[in-house]
Structure 1
Amino acid sequence: MDFISTRGKVEKTGFIRTFLMGLGDDGGLMLPTDIPAVPQEVFKQWEQLSYRDLMLEIFSYFTNGEIPREELKQLIDESYSGFRSPEVTPVKQIHDSLYVLELFHGPTFAFKDIALQFMGNLYSYVSRKENEIINILGATSGDTGAAAIQGVRGKEGIRICILHPHQKVSKVQELQMTTVDDENVLNLSVHGNFDDCQRIIKELFADVEYKNKYHLRAINSINFVRILAQTVYYFYAYFQISRRTQAEKISFSVPTGNFGNIFSAYLAKRMGLPIHRLVLATNENNILERFVKEGVYRPGDFRVTHSPSMDIQIASNFERYLYYLLDQNQEKVTSLMQQFQSEGQIVIDPQLLKKVQSDFSAHGVKNEECLQIISKYSGEYDYLADPHTACGIAAYEACCDKDEVCVTLATAHPAKFNESIQLCDISQKFPAEIQALFDKPQHMTVVENSKQEVAEQLKRFF
């Protein structure tokens, strides 16, 4: 299998080079030339597999044998050996038609661990095998940074710099990043919001000369391997629910700000997983909801919400979906992205909007609605949801019919967002690993919202 860019100006390349490239050298996002259609008889074989074995089978469709099967299996086993649940992503029933897929049993209590523990090990593997210098650069709205740092801290041949928006992540998220005191870790706290951090990252990666000089590698969901790693848990959850319920309609409600998590579900569906409905859950920074409902992709006024990991106005993975919406026409994708760059919006015609609405339902959750859901499900079902998970549940309630079973993604442990939980008059006990963070010193550098200043910091670090 070859990989190409959504903008068509990158030569076809293999799995490992795609992984190392991250953002396409033409500014586009990397995708396989063809998404494999998995036969239904293979799904039958996969239904009984453990999470790790299922991941091995799915990745084998994409790696072209560039990683020998036994070595890939070892990478996968190493990546999930430290998870608190042997299932990796356990599925819990809330009531007859609602299940929660818990994605927070990794080291930093967030769904980002699932992809980034694997990617950290894969970067280490490539560094050893190819004698590659690995300098990882990423932006975070909170969870990606901690998970990425945890995945590579202390590893020989790898350095990592993470940008986060200054004082716009939860306290636990900040502590998980900034209490790491390893020589190969640099935390930059940027005066601005996540979109500013992401813009700086994209500009640095788009400067191919700079990118190659400093051997920059991506950990954000612009990296296709992260998308692929997240696809696995949709298959796993679907098989779990199918075995338990014999349900004919199984849907997923996905809290998402950067479009990466729900694009992973979309990829699973294109591979043949018979997902009934994909519900896109967002918050008051609802550019994605407006696109699904109105066909207009245009940032609005930035809002601070109870679900800060989704406080995003420009969704970096949106271009991947646009590529398929436009029938894989790379010239059209390039033109529309250039239009977005110059005009600040993309507007699609009614025919394309119908296609979008056949692919997704969407619901933007207001701050008060988010807190109401946390209180309701704690009181009625004895299930404490973090605010992002609550957005997913709210979207399920708004979009799903009574005759379908829905799996809502629990993207983080509620202890990571205690500020929101306390607003619901709910007290929770922190896991010991999180409680210990409050007694540790922090290590970070506060910088202005400036590509040049960030570049200078990287020059000194790398």
Structure 2
Amino acid sequence: MKYYSTNHSVPPVSLEEAVIKSLAADNGLYMPESIPVLDPATIAGLKEQSFHEIANTVAQAFFGKDMEPETLRKIVEDTLSFETPVVPVSDSIYSLELFHGPTLAFKDVGARFMARLLSYFIRQRGIEQEVNVLVATSGDTGSAVANGFLGVPGIHVYVLYPKGKVSPIQECQFTTLGQNITALEIDGVFDDCQALVKAAFLDVDLNRHMQLTSANSINVARFLPQSFYYFNAYAQLDRIGQAKELVVCVPSGNFGNITAGLFAHRMGLPIKRFIAANNRNNVFYEYLKTEVYTPRPSVATIANAMDVGAPSNFARILDLFGSDHPAISALISGSFYSDTEIAETIKEIDEKYHYLCDPHGACGYRALAAGLKPGETGIFLETAHPAKFKETIEGILGRKIEVPAKLQAFMKGTKQNIEMSKDYRSFKSYLLAQ
């Protein structure tokens, strides 16, 4: 399958080229020329399959024409060493727990899949020069990518993160690894980190000096595999007869996750509608209401992984719907919440249902509870383990919460990072010296 740029001013490329390049030469994001549709019998049969089998079915539909089926099956198998269970919270609302991977965040699926797919293409192409992965993070992307690529031969990862704007545990997950992982602490916000990464891809001198790619959701190999767990969630609900009139609420920052859900929908997954839940960084909500997209600098919140003021994947959503605002707003509604409202929701769910949410999941729950209609079943995506936001959660609930052993191990490491301004010239000079 060929992949075209959302800016439509450069020729389409192969999957291999899209994965290795990450961003098109015209600064657009790659999109597949067609989206495969699974037949109703295949969808109905998902409830009889394991997560591995479901993911392989979806992966073969998307990537099967670009690589050997057995190779792809092995990549899927290596990616999914964990489950994404659907857990009942109330009578009609379920949590899709996406935090059972190595870094306890939903991005483990896409990061691990991309690491294996990129490594495969590097071997296929016989690239001897080291491939450098640039990734901007507002919290969980950095840890997922760093751990997904840790120790992978021929690949070095540079994680750019905003100083003082990720949780201490999140920071530990990518600053303590060493080896082929370098953490760059940028004196700015997430959008500054993302701007540095995008500028680097378009810099002729820098690309002549080193092989660059990205593991943010701008890379098709990062966001597309996230559609796996939408199919898996549907299968779990279908097994218990709760898959009809399904509404999915996605806490949204850079909008890669909800874009993966929209792709699953286009592939035939019977999701009735989506809700995009935002914190105070609500540019998408405003677009839905006004048809005007006005990106702006992000503001810091307790749901820091959603602190994005210029979501990259908005371009993919526009492209997917042909910039048809009525079509977009018919399938996707939006909500946004302040830190106070998020904190109130965390406390309410804990007291009422004895379910512990992280700040992002709390956004999702609140939007879903407010927007769910009679007869509908709702799923909100619980994107990260609450212990990743230990200080915030404990301050809200007034009690200690348990920290899983996986996170405790990261916290014992020694922080290794390089402080840097948000000035592009400084960033470029640093990379040219590597």
Where on the TM-score scale, by shorter chain, does this alignment land: which range?
over 0.9
Deviations 1:1-27 (A, max 9, x none): 221111112222222221112111111
Aligned partner of 2:335 in structure 1 is 363
Change in CA separation of 1:179 and 1:269 when aligned onto 2, cut-off 3 Å: same
Which one of the candidate residues 381, 403, 406 is aligned to 2:353? 381
In the TM superposition, residue 96 of structure 1 has moved relative to its aligned partner by 1.4
In 1, Cα distance between equivalents of 2:288 and 2:207: 34
CA distance in 2, matches of 1:248, 1:430: 36
Does the Cα contact within 8 Å between 2:103 and 2:173 map onto a contact in 1? yes
Q: Is the partner of 1:251 in helix, strand or coil?
A: strand
Quote the Cα distance in structure 2 between the aligned partners of 1:64 and 1:48. Answer: 22
Give the counterpart of 1:115 among 110, 115, 140. 110
Alignment of 1:313-392 (within 5 A): 313-326=309-322, 352-392=324-364
CA displacement 1:12-65 (0-9 Å, x = unmatched):
222222111211111111111111222112212333221111111111122243
- Structure 1 stretch 190-199 or stretch 368-377: which is displaced more? 368-377
Report the Cα offset of residue 208 of structure 1. Answer: 4.7
Aligned counterparts of 2:63 and 2:244: Cα–Cα separation in 1:
32
What letter matches 1:21 in structure 2? K
Aligned equivalents of 1:391, 1:262: Cα separation in 2:
14
Match of 1:179?
Answer: 176
What does 1:88-103 correspond to in 2, within 5 Å? Answer: 88-103=83-98
Matches within 5 A, 1:228-239: 228-239=224-235
Aligned ranges for residues 282-297 of structure 1 at < 5 Å?
282-297=278-293
Q: In the alignment, does 2:129 pair up with 1:139? A: no
On the 8 A contact 2:283/2:309 being kept in 1, the answer is: yes
Deviations 1:421-442 (A, max 9, x none): 0221132011122123333211
In 2, Cα distance between the equivalents of 1:438 and 1:42?
Answer: 44
Tell me which residue corresponds to 1:332: none
Superposition map of 1:252-263 within 5 A:
252-263=248-259
Counterpart AA for 1:162: V
Question: 1:270-289 to 2 correspondence within 5 Å?
Answer: 270-289=266-285
The Cα offsets for residues 154-183 of structure 1, whole Å up to 9 and x where unpaired, read as 22111111100011100001111111121x
Q: Tell me: CA distance 1:300–1:457, structure 2 relative to 1, closer, same or farther (3 Å).
A: closer
Q: What is the DSSP-based 3-state SS (H/G/I as helix, E as strand, rest coil) of the residue aligned with 2:275?
A: strand
Residues 123 and 134 of structure 1 are in contact (CA less than 8 Å); yes or no, is this contact kept in structure 2?
no
For 2:410 and 2:143, locate their aligned partners in 1 and report how far apart those are by CA, in whole Å.
12
Q: CA deviation at 1:69?
A: 1.1
Partner residue, 1:74: 74
1:321 Cα deviation from its structure 2 partner: 1.0
Equivalent pairs, count: 431
- What is the rounded CA distance, in whole Å, between the counterparts of 1:54 and 1:212 in structure 2? 41
Distance (Å, rounded) in 2 between the aligned partners of 1:31 and 1:274: 22
- Stretch of structure 1 that moved more, 52-61 or 226-235: 52-61
Deviation at 1:263, TM superposition (A): 0.8
Using a 3 Å threshold, how does the CA distance of structure 1 residues 65 and 353 change in structure 2: closer, same or farther?
A: closer
Structure 1 residues 409 and 68, CA, compared in 2 at 3 Å: closer, same or farther?
same
Output one character per residue of 1:268-307: Cα deviation in whole Å (capped at 9) or x when no partner.
1111111111000010111111111222211356322110
The C-alpha deviation readout for 1:177-224, integer Å capped at 9, x for no partner, is: 111121x21110000000000011111112255335411011000011
Aligned to 1:394: 366
**Deviation string, structure 1 residues 93-118 (Cα, Å, up to 9, x no partner):** 11210011110111111111011011
In structure 2, stretches of 5+ residues that fail to align are none
Q: Distance in 2 between matches of 1:436 and 1:324?
A: 41
Partner of 2:125: 130
Letter in 2 for 1:459: L
- Is this contact kept in 2: 1:4–1:12, CA < 8 A? yes
Q: Percent identity?
A: 36
Distance 2:222 2:91 in 1: 32
Deviation, 1:242, is 2.1
